[in-house]
Structure formats: structure tokens, C-alpha cells
Structure 1
């Protein structure tokens, strides 16, 4: 009986170490993708949910290079409160990339979206 218990302990230790290794690999991947998402020089995909500095509510990006009519000022992004979405034009949030504190969720990314963001990125560099 003692032999069986020793073999089982060895298997359990092996499985435990394997699980720890896999969890560590998953966390490393998440951390590196988080760093990629926080590159503020590159535009974020439409649908991305971000936390902005000095705001409690998260917002969802739905446009680039928008001009706020009331001020005539151009901003990198326009967004709506998340999860409510579009309530009315009074709730639109205009902000520049340097105001992003954290990316909560990255929006859908397609080839068409990547092409648009490359154009937007070159406009951001020019400004």
C-alpha cells in the first residue's frame, strides 16, 4: 500500500507542477498583450472599452479624429458611456489618447479596421 501512495504522490506533484507552469505561461501572455494594448501611439479598435483618467465610468470608443461641435476642437477619439451606449449627443465623450488610463477590453479587429487605424495613426503623428 505504501508503494501505491508514493506513486500517486509523485503523479500529483507532477500534475501540480504542470498546472503551475501552464498558469504562469497564461499570465505572461496576458501581461504582454496588456502592454501592447497600452501603446497610446497606435489607435485602438472601435468597440474598445477604456478607463479614462479622472472619470469613474468606463467608455466605449466608436470613432476617431472627431470634432466636438460646441468647441470646434478635434480629439483622437469619441466614445459613449459603457455599458449604456448611445444615450444622446450630450453624453458623447471626446478625448485624446493621453487621457487613457487603462484598456478594459479591446474591440473587434479586422483587416479593414487595421487599414483604417494605419491612416488614423499617421494623422495622429502629424498632429
Structure 2
């Protein structure tokens, strides 16, 4: 009975050690991704949370190539305060890629998303 208990205990210990090792590997993957997403020549995915220069609050991107009606100017991105989200149109944040100081979280990426971002980048380059 003691041998079974020791075997089970040993198995659980190795399982837990394996979990902690894979969790420790994760930050390295994040750093690799972060290097890639800081390319300001390409648009970031929807859902990306960024820190902007001269803005205290983090912002989550939810659209590309948007026109601000009050100024009739086009911006690379439209976002909302993070973590609050959409409060009202008065809280929308219009900004260009050169205002991005840091990427705090990369949004969800799919093949469809990549295609839309590439099209939006091409559209931006025609102006």
C-alpha cells in the first residue's frame, strides 16, 4: 500500500514539475512575438492593447483607417480605453502608429485578419 502511495506521489510531483517548466518557457515565446509586433510599418491586430505616448490610459484597438468626424482626418487606428472598453463615442481614441510607445498585449490573429490588415496597409500607402 505504501509503494502505491509513493508511486502516485512521485507521478504527481513529476506532473507538477512538468507544468511549471512549460509555464516558465512561455515568457520567452512572448518576447519573440513582441519583437515581431513592434514593426510600425504594419498594422496591429484588432484587440491589441497598446500604450500611447502622452496618454496615461492603455488603449485597445478595435478598428483601422478610421475618419474622426469632428476633424475629418483619417487615422491608422481607433481604440477604446482599456479595460473599460466602449463607454461612448466621446471616449474613442483616434491615433496613428507613430504614437504607439509599447504593445502590452497582441490581439487575436487569423488568416482573415492578416488579409484585412494587408489590404488596409496597401490602402494607407496609396494616400
Normalising by the residue count of structure 1, what TM-score does the alignment of the two structures yield? Answer: 0.76
In the alignment, what sits opposite 2:117? 117
Structure-1 separation of matches of 2:40 and 2:83:
23
1:39-68 deviations in whole A, cap 9, x for unaligned? Answer: 011111101100000111000000000000
Q: CA RMSD in A?
A: 1.9
Secondary structure of 2:70 counterpart: coil
Q: Which runs of 5+ in 1 are unaligned?
A: 1-18
In the alignment, what sits opposite 1:15? none
In the alignment, what sits opposite 2:79? 79
Show structure 1 runs of 4+ deviating over 4 A: 25-28
1:6-53 deviations in whole A, cap 9, x for unaligned? Answer: xxxxxxxxxxxxx7xxx6x75554333211110011111101100000
Q: Which runs of 5+ in 2 are unaligned?
A: 1-20
